[in-house]
Amino acid sequence: MRAILVILILCSVFVSASASEPRPLSLMPMPAEVQTKTGQLLIDTSFTVGISGHSDLQLQRAVERFLDNLRRQTGMPPLDMKVTDAAQAKLVVHSEHASKAAQELGEDESYSLEVSPSGAKLDAATPLGIMRGLETFLQLVQTTSDGFAVPAIAIRDQPRFPWRGLMIDVGRHFIPLDVLKRNLDGMAAVKLNVFHWHLSENQGFRIESKKFPKLQEMGSDGLYYTQDEVRDLIAYAHDRGIRVVPEFDMPGHSTAWFIGYPELASGPGPYQIERKWGVFDPAMDPTRERTYKFLDGFIGEMSQLFPDQYFHIGGDEVNGKQWDANPNIQAFMRAHGLKTNQDLQAYFNTRVQKIVSKHGKTMVGWDEILRPDLPKDIVVQSWRGQDSLAAAAKQGYRGILSFGYYVDLMWPASRHYAVDPVSDAAANLSPDEKKLILGGEACMWSEYVSPENIDSRIWPRTAAIAERLWSPQNVTEVNSMYQRLAEVSRRLDWLGLTHNASYGPMLRRIAGSNDISALRTFTDVVEPVKDYSREELAVVEATSLSPLNRVIDAARPESATVRHFASLVDALIAGHADSEVEQEIKALLMLWRDNQSNLQVLEGQSFLLKEIVPLSQDLTAVATTGMQALSYMERGEHAPAAWATEQFAVLEEAQKPKAQLLLMVVPSLQKLVEASSGQKAPPPPPEK
Amino acid sequence: MRAILVILILCSVFVSASASEPRPLSLMPMPAEVQTKTGQLLIDTSFTVGISGHSDLQLQRAVERFLDNLRRQTGMPPLDMKVTDAAQAKLVVHSEHASKAAQELGEDESYSLEVSPSGAKLDAATPLGIMRGLETFLQLVQTTSDGFAVPAIAIRDQPRFPWRGLMIDVGRHFIPLDVLKRNLDGMAAVKLNVFHWHLSENQGFRIESKKFPKLQEMGSDGLYYTQDEVRDLIAYAHDRGIRVVPEFDMPGHSTAWFIGYPELASGPGPYQIERKWGVFDPAMDPTRERTYKFLDGFIGEMSQLFPDQYFHIGGDEVNGKQWDANPNIQAFMRAHGLKTNQDLQAYFNTRVQKIVSKHGKTMVGWDEILRPDLPKDIVVQSWRGQDSLAAAAKQGYRGILSFGYYVDLMWPASRHYAVDPVSDAAANLSPDEKKLILGGEACMWSEYVSPENIDSRIWPRTAAIAERLWSPQNVTEVNSMYQRLAEVSRRLDWLGLTHNASYGPMLRRIAGSNDISALRTFTDVVEPVKDYSREELAVVEATSLSPLNRVIDAARPESATVRHFASLVDALIAGHADSEVEQEIKALLMLWRDNQSNLQVLEGQSFLLKEIVPLSQDLTAVATTGMQALSYMERGEHAPAAWATEQFAVLEEAQKPKAQLLLMVVPSLQKLVEASSGQKAPPPPPEK
């Protein structure tokens, strides 16, 4: 029944509700139930908020933050828009009771929001639900012909999954606290509720240990968070309804531990901070008691610092080479009947789980930790997929999905959006087994991010993942998603996120000039290569010391220009295009065709531009192809087969990655050649 | 002799030094002596800095900050570009000795910088000079075909004036500490050395007094700086070679004091925080001893907090109405032979000066304080002009110029740039008298600024004022200034200044849409009305509670688009234009002509767009005029006189401010009509 209601409502939201209210709502994630009504509530300097029912500091800060954001969005001065008595307030916020002191998995986040032309009411069980509802309210604020306003509306909303996370890897590249904070603001804006903090890696140990200070002193290049900073970040997150789950990856991914404490390792050492990327040999020695004594001390210290119930021990990608090479470890395995390295790691996990549990925490780990001898309260985070989650659930283990949500792989938002935690094998689970699937996490692995470009890798695409994890399963319309994603992206600008703001300055640096129009035209139609092709296509091996100042580092993971162009071409080919569409296609093709000659002016003055010349020449070539195809179509002529064959070769060449970039307009141009000639493009070469 | 050298050098800098080094340097302020050489020093990840000679924490922090900025400019990771032994360093920094613990007026800021392809050396007497030289080095870094590089060069540099300031009024609108800090970064980048902090106004008392807490508690709406924050800001400024001079305006501009302490005032009260703009009646009572007792306590407290030698007491714009209306004050004046309110204020100033002096400080005040009975060590800040400065100098008083440097008046940079402290009457002073002119200060009065748009009112134009105050007097070439100003403006982006970054988000808010191309096209060619016309042209009186979210608040004080268009038109009329120039003029005119029809799409959805419709229609009209003129010129025809008369009327209408905005393309279009018709435009209506 609810599913049908949602569908009906979605239609009304997007078709447009009334004459006075013509614009679509840009809610993201889409609430569970939305009913638009007639009229709107004006938001002017007299706007006020009142708290009725339960009140506490967390709630009051949430309301103040809401007002700050509302002022920022509307440009109102700090003296306007006050908190007042609930009796007089334009927006009345009513929370039944307090949230938990340490936010818990599965805490009630539901809320209901009623807006009429005379006022608004936001109800929730706890401040957590109020926070979610306040974000919805902010997304509803529009500039209208009468002033800023929120349309009259009734919303009932709750999340589909209780665990909706973003992981940031601060090990491979250190990410400063202020960058994390603005990303927490972004998370709160799209109702994500778990910040998974990947704190240790081969390339860096990023947190202060008072018990084992050589961890950060020798393992971080000085780039780590003090415990005061960690507490500050946890409080910041808690104020935004976000849990903080720390991860300390073990027994692998742990070189940085061994520089200060080589006795933890399975090989002789000495160790250095790893500068390269990949999977490396060093691993903890699971056979010595002093390893567990150390971990007991360390996990105990960290369990005190992090209030969250969950504690992530990583557990992924141990290549086993150090274990194979160590005769003591081999002897231990024989003595204990451990046949494989997987068995040894399972032994290690069992021991570590007992330590985690002793300190009052519940263990989380990546797929590899799953072995039947672990207790059922652990949580498996799957980078392998829904089938792996389903297998875990069938054994009674809870899981969260990260397969399909790796934002470092430069996928389009639509591809992440299509990944549902309860699909594939998981779709066939029993209702009770399905409940074991807690949600998912977007993952920002940080080989190629700096404070300057990390936001552009996380946002706005992570908002699409947030919608997948919050909204009803049947909210899947891709065009609607993209339309709302564009709005959300710009709203995130107000929070200080730099995914849009950093583009221009990075291009100006590359150009060595303030005139970046040609470089921008080029960079607007390329994307970084996908998946792990950046490594495969590297001319010089990248390390943690490589500057991230190339076109690939500035280029957006997903080009809005290309998506727009593709929709124009599709309309043209489908015969839906009016002359304006045709004109726009032609204007874009002309711009691209002539761009290389404009870019040439800059080339001589920047070493960072040299590598893009071949692809920029390809852009000229394929745009020329497109214009020829268009001109055949305009004249109503069939393009000759020989011409088509020639153009397909041009396009095939242009589709090859260059400078680790992909020219994303090629598929649409291929369609144009096909449409103009009636010829079919040759099949793409098989993927490696 | 030096003057001639400088001129020769400037020519070589701008004409271009060698084939391998074709781009002009974007130094601002222009150093006293610049000699370009052959080759360049590459700046890559192996770049290092070493400190030889004197070293202290201030200097070390300056070097670290320099490296941070260099990394940001070049996109290098935090582990590169280290501080090393001077013997191995690429850039060797050598300071003779320490700077003063509290920075002093006239401290040596000179430096010399030698860059060769193998390394660079920066010498100065103190860390203060080193800081200035490091900023020059940062400005020299360019993207080249070989990598980031600094051209080989020899620079000897020192400031022309020792007092080069920026005043920010935080009274009328409170400006948060982080906004001030980023503006201090901007100041340091262009070698300004005095932050004049205008801390109290009718509209707000912005600093915590522990002695008189009702000042901030009742006079600030809660918007004030704690003493810890003040100390933090002073330390931040000191680290950047910037003195902090506090101003507490008295006896006028002081309503905010009287809310907590009405007994200080000359009228009965009660008082409220003033919300309107202008000059108001409330003034301190100069006839009561308890006024001076209070000021002794307050100035004593503030003198402890602010280490700078100088203490600004304001002293401007007392309208005297409260004094006239108070019989006790009138009786006091008669008893003491004080004939005018000016006499009474002089009496007040003399008393206050003794208090300031007692607490070890030197008094600064606006023009009005200048009366012969004040001691010669005071400093007069002139908002009235160079003649007033000259008069003071002739009496032996030191002065700083702010007349001509009010950045809130929305003048073009060239107009500020043309104002020299030693001109007009001051040009005729004796050399010794000229030395009394200490420099100048840009003034940011804050009736119409918020944290969102204040940077765009200060920058980049203040960099032109900074050059006026630092560089040799004969550095006056306006085109060169604008060229370098554009570069500096973009470099300031790296420091987090938002003068460029806030434009797009403000326009998106106004449009209520992400598609702002039409609104941007419009806003790019308008400027806010100049001087004090914003008040005069207001439909609704503005107050400190008015939202600053209109087009006038987003529009730039000076339009680069219009300046560019004017140069194209001038070239065309002078017969220097090639066909590309003509094409560009035509393309711009077409864009403007068609813009209103694009803007119309947005109009219906935003109340903030309604007011610009008439001016947007004017833009269409004048662009149409321009296209007609161009077409007469192209055809080699003389445009008919009747047509010209009609067009002059169109242009005259378009020149009238609307929505407190000026359409800045009109003068160039007038020139086109004149050139095409041979008719002269009627003289502009007389200014009010």
pLDDT digits (tens, 9 = 90+) for B69-109: 999 999 999 888 888 888 899 999 999 999 999 999 999 99
Alpha helices in B336-421 (DSSP H): 341-358, 386-394, 413-417
**Cβ–Cβ of A505/B514 closer than 8 Å?**
no
Q: In B, residues 67-86, which contact A (CB 8 Å cutoff)?
A: 72-80
Q: Is the pLDDT of residue B630 over 60?
A: yes
For A424, residues 6+ apart whose C-beta sits below 8 A from its C-beta are: A385, A386, A387, A390
Instruction: Determine contact: A481 vs chain B, CB below 8 A.
Output: no
pLDDT of residue B563: 98
Confidence band (pLDDT; 50, 70, 90) for B57? very high
Confidence band (pLDDT; 50, 70, 90) for B603? confident
Which chain B residues have a beta carbon less than 8 Å from that of A494? 505
pLDDT of residue B10: 38
For A493, name the nearest residue in chain B, comparing CA atoms only: B505
Which chain A residues have a beta carbon less than 8 Å from that of B77? 173, 450, 544-548
**Cβ–Cβ of B79/A545 closer than 8 Å?**
yes
Asked whether B250 and B110 are in contact (CB, 8 A), the reply is: no
Shortest Cα distance from A593 to chain B (angstroms)?
A: 19
**Cβ–Cβ of B607/A147 closer than 8 Å?**
yes
- Cβ-Cβ pairs closer than 8 A, A with B, add up to 131
How far is the CA of B248 from the CAs of B157, B257, B274, B375, B470, in angstroms?
A: 35, 10, 16, 20, 27
> How many CB atoms sit inside 10 A of residue A396's CB?
13
Instruction: Determine contact: B505 vs chain A, CB below 8 A.
Output: yes
State pLDDT tens for residues B173-197: 999 999 999 999 999 999 999 999 9
Among B144, B452, B514, whose Cβ lies nearest the Cβ of A487?
B514
What does pLDDT average to over chain B? Answer: 94
Query: A362, A305, A375, A371: which is closest to A342 by C-alpha?
Result: A371
Query: B186, B192, B163: which is closest to B467 by C-alpha?
Result: B192
DSSP A529: P
Which of A172, A509, A612 is the best substitution to test chain B (most B C-beta atoms within 10 A)?
A509
Query: What is the separation, in whole angstroms, between the first and last Cα of chain B?
Result: 46
Among A221, A510, A511, whose Cβ lies nearest the Cβ of B79?
A221
Which chain A residues have a beta carbon less than 8 Å from that of B515? none
pLDDT of residue B12: 37
Confidence band (pLDDT; 50, 70, 90) for B2? very low
Which chain A residues have a beta carbon less than 8 Å from that of B505? 490, 493-494
Asked if the ipTM is above 0.90, the reply is: yes
State pLDDT tens for residues A224-272: 999 999 999 999 999 999 999 999 999 999 999 999 999 999 999 999 9
DSSP one-letter string for A604-670: TT-TTTGGGHHHHHHHHHHHHHHHHHHHHHHHTPPPPHHHHHHHHHHHHHHHS-BTTEEETTHHHHH
pLDDT of residue B1: 35
pLDDT of residue A79: 84
Instruction: Answer with the residue of higher pLDDT: B566 or A45.
Output: B566
Q: Under DSSP, is residue A225 helix (H, G, I), strand (E, B) or coil? A: strand
Strand partners, A116: A119
**Cβ–Cβ of B79/A544 closer than 8 Å?**
yes
In this prediction, the residues of chain A whose per-residue pLDDT falls under 70 are 1-23, 687-688
Q: Is the pLDDT of residue B8 over 90?
A: no
pLDDT of residue B687: 58
State pLDDT tens for residues B129-172: 999 999 999 999 999 999 999 999 999 999 999 999 999 999 99
Q: Is the pLDDT of residue B443 over 90?
A: yes
Q: How is residue B519 written in tokens? A: 């609104």
Percent of chain B with pLDDT over 90: 91
pLDDT of residue A11: 36
C-alpha span between A152 and A136 (Å, rounded): 13
Asked whether B664 and B655 are in contact (CB, 8 A), the reply is: no
Indicate the pTM of the whole model. 0.94
pLDDT of residue B65: 97
Residue A487 annotated as catalytic: no
pLDDT of residue A9: 38
For A549, name the nearest residue in chain B, comparing CA atoms only: B75
Per-residue b or e along A481-515, where b marks 16 or more CB atoms closer than 10 Å to that residue's CB: bbebbbbbbbbbbbbebbbbbbbbbbbbbbbbbee
Which chain B residues have a beta carbon less than 8 Å from that of A23? 605
pLDDT of residue A376: 94
Burial bucket for residue A243 (CB in 10 Å: 0-12, 13-18, 19+): buried
